[in-house]
Structure 1
Amino acid sequence: MMKKNGISGGTSRVAVSVVIPVYNVEKYLDETIQSVLNQELKDFEIILVNDGSMDSSATICKKYASLDPRIYFFDQENAGVSVARNNGLSHAVGEYVYFLDSDDTIEPTFLSASLAIAKQQNFDLLILGEPYCSRAPRLTAVPTCGLLIKKTLLDTYPDIRFPEGIQPCEDGLFSHRLFLMTDKIGFNPSALYFYRQHENQNHVRINKETARILEQIPQWLELLRIFYDQNDIFSSRALKLALFIEHEPFELRYIKMPFDDHEREILFNLLHKFMLGYVEPYLSEGDLEVLSVPFRHFLAAKCHDDFDNFYRSYQTNRARNFKRSLFWVKFIPISSLRRKLRQNIRAKYSVV
């Protein structure tokens, strides 16, 4: 059960609610909270939700809650990041909501600049940061660090919350469903988020647990099936669903995770069955052209061995073409143009 420490939140409207789920991050939490306190925007609240930390994280949270009336602290038994974010959201009173990971930081104009863009054009969702903005229009999900959300959108769809018991992909499933419910989506590629990499991060550990991920992917697909069915949007949003499947279980899992041959076969069959049953019947020829070359070959392959053989050859050719492209750039005499072309080439070949 959650316990309130200090003054109750929700008494007055603020511009942005920053929800921070906290779990065993005593080394980084001070810096994370300070990055919010140092924001150019001052009209915010910070909602700290301690998810049963076993270090001094809760003590740090309480300290900040006692020093600044804009900071609220909640304590819960360990139940996972989805529960912590959902609990924090239930207390948020901001016009917009932002979820910040407790070991990362944001630059001082992050909130003010993003809020200005969102309010100017009344966006429901604002994509934050060049890495995510650059994926448009193929973008159908983002991590929480890349999304500013209008609270009224969340209030309108109370069933769209972080799925409990699922990690990774909990943020992808959350954001994807929001993308389906609004076309009022804007972009702030200049937003700077400082992502801290360390060995204790959950996703670093989880992404090595292939058997665990393989057990969870059917839950992802079932959650999507139910949501699309309840909202009767399979036909109208088929391309968005195909792009989600392409990015999350195909690109980030099948392609990038170290599954063994048997696990690859299971995942291949699982994704093929889902696409054939719920997505491909609604895709037009034009929709298929939007999908990446590897994913189109994946869908056309008869078995996982057929696709894996294609993909090895595909990657070899891509690597060769990447090196060849960089080689010719060095002969361009204008340095600024060389830099720009190198950036464009790296961005092009960063996509699967």
Structure 2
Amino acid sequence: MSPISIVVITLNEEKRIGRLLDDLSKQTHQNFEVIVVDSNSDDNTRTIAHGYEKALPQLTVHKMENRGTSLGRNTGAKLAQHERLLFLDADVRLAPTFLTDALHKLEKNKLEVAGVYMGADDLSLTYRLGYGAFNAGLWATSFFFPTAVGACIFSTKRAHQEIEGFDESITLCEDCDYVRRAAQTWRYRMLSVSFWFDPRRLEQDGFFTMGLTYLKANVRRFFLGEMRNNEMNYQFDHYRQS
């Protein structure tokens, strides 16, 4: 299987970045580099990331002076050495066979860009049902108006460059815009693999509140286009680090 560049964006993730890097060190597919792009964190995120340099020999940590989700992903893509890209958030968790399974499916289906489902095996029944509904929506929209979870997106340098990367002017759903534009040139699909992420976002915002927010956002995008002026008054970077 081909090598891959993994771009991890961070902002004050000292309590979570180590878990993800540990998961990456245990992957059955080890032909990859990891690029941690840190948005000038105020905590020990970069120090902890550097601590995994022995476990991950192809690890680099890049500090940005400015903050921004899309800026971080685009910065990491520019630094990447390999054609295949994987964009991850710092609070993602991966099974040991994640890369092996995902790369096999990407190559078998000849996909340039693909989304990944959210796993909820260790969560309550309510969360599992909610995740199931959300994943069903990701699958259904992939055929006509692709949406994705930005915490875990596969791409390639060719695709990334041709669509000019993530749109840094978009304030909400920049990940969905990315895969929508990519799907205009390449076939886009969801991979039948899953990742997990820290449920603090759901717990702090409220499961149904967050779900409704993203449903409204994507309905608005479908009819009115992308949001570049925080039209829904969404508060960013507000999650507590507990």
TM-score, scaled relative to structure 2: 0.71
Change beyond 3 A, Cα 1:66–1:36: closer
1:103 aligns with 2:91: yes
Aligned to 2:191: 188
Aligned AA for 1:77?
E
User: 1:310-349: CA deviations, max 9, x gaps?
Assistant: xxxxxxxxxxxxxxxxxxxxxxxxxxxxxxxxxxxxxxxx
Aligned to 1:22: 10
Give the alignment partner of residue 28 of structure 2, picking from 40, 44, 61.
40
Query: Which stretch shows the higher mean deviation, 46-55 or 119-128?
Result: 119-128
Aligned to 2:121: none
For the Cα contact (< 8 Å) 2:89–2:152, is it kept in 1? Answer: no
Please give the secondary structure, in 2, of the residue aligned with 1:17.
strand
Higher relative contact order (CA 8 A, sep 6+): 2
Please give the secondary structure, in 2, of the residue aligned with 1:64.
coil
Please give the secondary structure, in 2, of the residue aligned with 1:142.
coil
Please give the alpha-carbon distance, in whole angstroms, between the structure 2 residues aligned to 1:165 and 1:242: 19
Identical positions, percent: 21
For the Cα contact (< 8 Å) 1:22–1:48, is it kept in 2? Answer: yes
Aligned AA for 1:35?
D
Please give the secondary structure, in 1, of the residue aligned with 2:200.
coil
Change beyond 3 A, Cα 1:61–1:113: same
Please give the secondary structure, in 1, of the residue aligned with 2:3.
strand
For the Cα contact (< 8 Å) 1:19–1:88, is it kept in 2? Answer: yes
In the alignment, structure 1 segments of 5+ residues that lack a partner are 1-13, 209-216, 218-240, 260-352
Please give the secondary structure, in 1, of the residue aligned with 2:89.
coil
How far 1:136 moved relative to its partner? 3.8
Normalized per residue, the structure richer in helix is 1
Please give the secondary structure, in 1, of the residue aligned with 2:63.
strand
In the alignment, structure 2 segments of 5+ residues that lack a partner are 119-134, 210-216, 235-242
How far 1:244 moved relative to its partner? 4.8
How far 1:98 moved relative to its partner? 0.9
Aligned AA for 1:93?
Q
Matches within 5 A, 1:1-352: 15-65=3-53, 67-129=55-117, 131=135, 132-155=138-161, 157=162, 159-183=163-187, 185-189=188-192, 191-198=193-200, 204=205, 244-245=221-222
For the Cα contact (< 8 Å) 2:92–2:151, is it kept in 1? Answer: no
Change beyond 3 A, Cα 1:134–1:36: farther
TM-score, scaled relative to structure 1: 0.51
Please give the alpha-carbon distance, in whole angstroms, between the structure 2 residues aligned to 1:74 and 1:200: 29
Please give the alpha-carbon distance, in whole angstroms, between the structure 2 residues aligned to 1:88 and 1:134: 30
User: 1:119-165: CA deviations, max 9, x gaps?
Assistant: 1232222332271335442442212235321332223x0x5222225
Aligned AA for 1:154?
H
Change beyond 3 A, Cα 1:197–1:187: closer
Change beyond 3 A, Cα 1:164–1:59: same
Change beyond 3 A, Cα 1:39–1:116: same
Please give the alpha-carbon distance, in whole angstroms, between the structure 2 residues aligned to 1:59 and 1:45: 18
RMSD: 3.5
Aligned to 1:344: none
User: 1:157-197: CA deviations, max 9, x gaps?
Assistant: 0x5222225332121222211111213x34422x1210212
Normalized per residue, the structure richer in strand is 2
Point out 4+ residue stretches in structure 1 off by more than 6 angstroms: 247-250
Please give the secondary structure, in 1, of the residue aligned with 2:49.
helix
For the Cα contact (< 8 Å) 1:143–1:175, is it kept in 2? Answer: no
Please give the alpha-carbon distance, in whole angstroms, between the structure 2 residues aligned to 1:66 and 1:146: 24
Aligned AA for 2:41?
S
